[in-house]
Chains A and B, each alone.
Chain A
Amino acid sequence: GDSVTQMEGPVTLSEEAFLTINCTYTATGYPSLFWYVQYPGEGLQLLLKATKADDKGSNKGFEATYRKETTSFHLEKGSVQVSDSAVYFCALASRGSARQLTFGSGTQLTVLP
């Protein structure tokens, strides 16, 4: 079945540091890929997405590129801010199966001033 493997957390960085959170997936066919962010006490919000190979999703300075050859969708940001502290979830939606999202385990990011 479909699965998403995410970099283990928690991750602690200083403000303005470079961020990478690794995500790899297993799926039938060519899934759509997503990064969701969860701020404390809130539900998940879509951060960015990519729907086909080599697509790059970007939002709020975050980027991720759909790499079919390595089945990866790593999240990056060049300079993190304290306000980026949150839990980040990688997810996929597989075209060949049911409609639901499959989530990774989440990575807690804390950015220190």
Chain B
Amino acid sequence: DAGVIQSPRHEVTEMGQEVTLRCKPISGHDYLFWYRQTMMRGLELLIYFNNNVPIDDSGMPEDRFSAKMPNASFSTLKIQPSEPRDSAVYFCASSFGTVNTEAFFGQGTRLTVV
């Protein structure tokens, strides 16, 4: 398996524009997580899905953020409208099964909002 695949790797956009980040989890994994990483706040869990259903979105910072998982092999994180303070690295991760199993991370999308 190629691992968790995220696209794009880098995104530069202007304030106010819509941004969509994409993630393909590892086949067979039933959990998918979206994290945001910044110098100031470290790694923050934004939302996670189990079997394509959102379970906890309490980490989503504002209504400008939304996430979907239309099927087991694809998820999106959308920011509309984007703001400079959204600049960060966004990671997608997937895992399978019990709490003991590891989460596999994608390489991340570095978002810069100017």
A residues sitting closer than 8 Å to B (CB atoms) are 31-32, 34, 36, 41-46, 49, 51, 89, 93-95, 98-101, 103-106
Contacts and interface: CB of A to CB of B under 8 A. Distances in A.
Contacts of B50: 99
Given A95-B99, A99-B99, A100-B56, A43 B105 contact: yes
Interface residues of B, number: 22
Sorted nearest first, the 7 A-B pairs with minimum C-beta distance are A43-B105, A46-B102, A103-B43, A93-B99, A44-B105, A105-B42, A51-B100
A109 to B, nearest CB: 16
Nearest to A43: B105
Interface of B: 4, 31, 33, 42-43, 45, 48, 50, 55-56, 91, 93, 95, 99-100, 102-108
Given A95-B99, A99-B48, A43 B91 contact: yes
Contacts of B31: 99
Contacts of B45: 100-101
A99 B93 CA distance: 13
